[in-house]
Amino acid sequence: MRILLVREAARLRPWMRDFASDLRAHGFEVRLGPRPGGEPSRLVGLIFELDRLTNAMRRHDVADAVAPDEIAAPPGGDFTPEVVVDLTGRPAAYAGVPTFALAFDGIPGEDALLAALTENGAVTVAIHDPGTGEILEEIRPSLECAQGPIDATAVVGARVAAVLLARLLALRSGRRRPGRVAAGSRIRIAPAEPSLGYFARRLRDVLARHLYRMVSRSPHWRIGWRHVDGPGLVDTGNFEAPLFRPFPDGGLRCYADPFPIEWQGETHVLLEDFDHRSGKGMISAIRFDDGGPIGPAVPVLEEPWHLSFPFPIVDEGNLYVVPESTARRDVALYRCIAFPDRWERVATLLDGVCASDVAIVRWADRWWMFSTLEDGRGGWSDMLAIHSAPSLVGPWRPHRDVPVMIDVAAARSAGRPFVRDGRLHRPVQDCSAIYGGGIDVVEVTRLDDEGYEQEVRLRLRPNPAWPGRRLHTVNRVGRLELIDGAVPRPKWDVIDRLVAPLWTPRRST
């Protein structure tokens, strides 16, 4: 398939070079039709220079324009495009040729992207048809790894490239990629200017974070537990009947990702046990009975690399766990030899990938795996990948649409999928404001080889009954329900004791 890329000659960015390279790697023939003009304004240049200064970046980086021949050769007289990807600020329709264009918060052009980033610190990108005005798909990239507008433009570009590649692969195979579009979205041609006020806000935020890290261990996660009869948090959204009780951690270690499991007549909670001193996590377990936790968290699984999100699975009479191990670049399956503290690695489900917060569920006579992928070009909380397999040990194959979606507010798993009234649901993390900032419960309305769709049914956020800035996971087994979140933990015990009451769950008045 022949692809024509169109872009202003003065705004050819490195992410476009990578995009063209990816296209060629997948067998596409690529040509570049640089459009004259498009020189960035003095304001845009000033923003890039200020960003370099505040982040001590080198002069030549992801914000600098690249030469056209670094992206692709120009179209010759015998080149007839089968698809046009118009990346300009004024995309045009090409008669009889499918065309993809971009808009940032509804407005085409790089200035609109920078305006969104410097004003809101976030952006929604629409892939649209400039001939009909139809929005084909919207994505919300994660900017958690970006250190300023320069990084952010590269991250957004990388995510745009990923979704455009998926669309072109679908088009080449003769099918239409499903797209998620928010109600009321539209494209408009309008002026957009970046804001220098970004740098004052960034300086404030950087100073606040620096001060916070000087006096507190960051981030410090904690888990909360309660026994509840009847419908639980994911059914009612009620944090108060009864209140969750924080599990003590001592301050030098913190606990996150609690997954309860009933096995051999006992109930244990598997969790991430993170040591602030080493900066590495392992998997520990806490035993529970009808009265609550029995004893401290006990380490049960440790590797030379960081482990977290210990997802438990029961299959054919065996207990397994799939911990997150992105540093290892694989997804591994461990079988329980002696509950709860002896595990052996028995299979590698995925290899050569960084897959975060893996959640696995048996649904419609098949195993399905949800994860978010890290590709080294962006964040780790926005690209949803789905794999399926006939058995737990595989072979696991990717969904035909990968990434299935790019959405910082709805992709990353926040606990164990569950079935309610015959319908599959997923807890997902809303990381749009901050990583693990809240949980949405979504209903999976479509899950098959041809597509995936989900709809939000419930939103859960930190509140006086679970104070702090984050709400990260939710899980339940039997009467035992668990959540986690993050709170400040001062490094000095006397201050820690003084502020601890601020983070005590309480009923609303």
Task: Please enumerate in sequence order all residues whose Cβ is within 8 A of that of 222, keeping only pairs 6 or more positions apart, or say none.
Answer: 246, 247, 249, 254, 255, 256, 484, 485, 486, 487
The per-residue pLDDT for 59 is: 46
Are 394 and 411 in contact, with CB atoms under 8 Å apart? no
- The pLDDT value recorded for residue 233 is 97
Instruction: Evaluate whether the domain defined by 2-209 bears CATH number 2.60.120.
Output: no
Question: How far is CA 124 from its chain centroid?
Answer: 14
Nearest-angstrom CA–CA distance, 76 and 428: 48
Q: What interhelical angle do 110-120 and 42-55 show, nearest 10?
A: 50
Buried b (16+ CB within 10 A) or exposed e, 303-319: beebbbbbbbbeeeeeb
Alpha helices, DSSP H, located in 29-148: 42-55, 68-71, 110-120
Could you say which DSSP state residue 48 is in? Answer: H
CATH of 216-503, one of 3.30.420.10, 2.60.120.380, 2.60.40.10, 2.115.10.20: 2.115.10.20
Choose among 399, 347, 337: nearest CA to 373: 399
DSSP class of residue 361 equals: E
User: Rg of the Cα trace of the chain?
Assistant: 24
What pLDDT sits at residue 304? 96
Structural domain boundaries in the chain: 2-209, 216-503
Tell me the three-class secondary structure of 84-112, residue by residue.
Answer: EEECCCCCCCCCCCCEEEEEECCECCHHH
- With CA atoms as reference, report the closest residue to 334 among 282, 273, 256: 282
pLDDT of residue 57: 58
Do 216-503 and 2-209 have the same topology in CATH? no
The mean pLDDT values, 10 residues at a time, for the chain of 509 residues are 95 94 97 86 84 66 78 92 95 92 95 92 95 95 89 94 96 90 87 83 81 85 96 96 93 95 96 94 97 96 97 97 95 97 97 96 95 91 96 95 94 97 97 94 94 96 94 97 94 88 88
Maximum Cα–Cα distance for the chain, whole Å? 79
* Interatomic CA distance for residues 490 and 487, integer angstroms: 10
> What's residue 61's pLDDT?
57
